[in-house]
Amino acid sequence: MYNDANVIKIKHDVLYEVAKLAFAGELDEKRDQIAFDLIPGPKPQFRCCIYKEREIIRQRVRLVEGKAPSGEDDGNVIQVISSACEDCPISSYVVTSNCQNCLGKACINACHFGAISAGETQSKIDATKCKECGQCAKACPYNAIAHLVRPCKNACPVGAITYDENGISEIDESKCIRCGQCIHSCPFGAIGSKTFIVDVINAIKSGRPVYAMLAPAAEGQFGPDVTMASWKKAMKEVGFTDMFEVGMGGDMTTQSEAEEWAEAYKAGEKKTTSCCPGFVNMIRRHFPELADKISTTVSPMCMVSRMIKAKVPDAYTVFIGPCIAKKSEVKDQQIEGNADAVLTFSEIRAIMKAKGVVLTAEENSYQEASVFGKRYGNSGGVTNAVLEYLKETDNEIDAKVYRANGAADCKKALLLMKVGRLPEDFIEGMACEGGCVGGPSAFQGEIASKKNRDSLISCADCRTIVENLSKIDMGAFEHHR
Q: Which residues does 86 contact at the CB level (< 8 Å), separation at least 6?
A: 166, 167, 168
The pLDDT of residue 7 = 85
∠ CA 146-185-414, rounded to 5°: 90
What value does the mean pLDDT of the chain take? Answer: 92
Q: Rg (Cα) of the chain, in Å, rounded? A: 25
Domain ranges of the chain: 5-88+153-195, 93-147, 198-471
Average pLDDT over residues 423-443: 94
Amino acid making up residue 347 = E
Q: Which fold has domain 198-471?
A: Rossmann fold (3.40.50)
The pLDDT of residue 477 = 59
Q: Give the Cα separation of 186 and 149 in Å (integer).
A: 12
The pLDDT of residue 458 = 61
Average pLDDT over residues 289-296: 97
Pairing of strands 145-147, 93-95: antiparallel
pLDDT score of 211 more than 80: yes
pLDDT score of 224 more than 90: no
Backbone angles phi, psi at 89, to 5 degrees: -90, 0
pLDDT score of 460 more than 50: no
Average pLDDT over residues 384-406: 96
pLDDT score of 3 more than 60: no
The pLDDT of residue 462 = 65
- Match domain 93-147 to its CATH number in 3.40.50.300, 1.20.120.1770, 3.40.50.10800, 3.30.70.20: 3.30.70.20
pLDDT score of 2 more than 70: no
**Percent of the chain topping pLDDT 90:** 75
The whole-model pTM stands at 0.91
Least confident span in 88-97, 174-183, 298-307, 454-463 = 454-463
pLDDT in tens, 22-40: 999 999 999 999 999 999 9
Cβ–Cβ contacts within 10 Å for residue 12, how many?
A: 15
The pLDDT of residue 278 = 97
pLDDT in tens, 100-147: 999 989 999 999 999 999 998 999 999 888 888 999 999 999 999 998
HEC assignment per residue over the chain: CCCCHHHHHHHHHHHHHHHHHHHHCCHHHHCCHHHHHHCCCCCCCCCCCHHHHHHHHHHHHHHHCCCCCCCCCCCCCEEECHHHHCCCCCCCEEECCCCCCCCCCHHHHHCCCCCEECCCCCCEECCCCCCCCCHHHHHCCCCCEEECCCHHHHHCCCCCEEECCCCCEEECCCCCCCCCCCHHHCCCCCEEECCCHHHHHHHHHHCCCEEEEECHHHCCCCCCCCCHHHHHHHHHHHCCCEEEEHHHHHHHHHHHHHHHHHHHHHHCCCEECCCCHHHHHHHHHHCHHHHHHECCECCHHHHHHHHHHHHCCCCEEEEEECCCHHHHHHHCCCCCCCCCEEEEHHHHHHHHHHHCCCCCCCCCCCCCCCHHHHCCCECCHHHHHHHHHHHHCCCCCCCCEEEEECHHHHHHHHHHHHCCCCCCCEEEEECCCCEHHHCCCCCCCHHHHHHHHHHHCCHHHCCCHHHHHHHCCCCCCCCEC
pLDDT score of 447 more than 90: no
pLDDT score of 472 more than 90: no
The pLDDT of residue 461 = 56
Identify whether the C-beta of residue 307 lies closer than 8 Å to the C-beta of residue 251.
no
pLDDT in tens, 262-287: 999 999 999 999 999 999 999 999 99
Question: 40 exposed, middle or buried (CB, 10 Å; 0-12, 13-18, 19+)?
Answer: exposed
Identify whether the C-beta of residue 35 lies closer than 8 Å to the C-beta of residue 57.
yes
pLDDT in tens, 334-378: 889 999 999 999 999 999 999 999 999 988 777 788 989 999 989
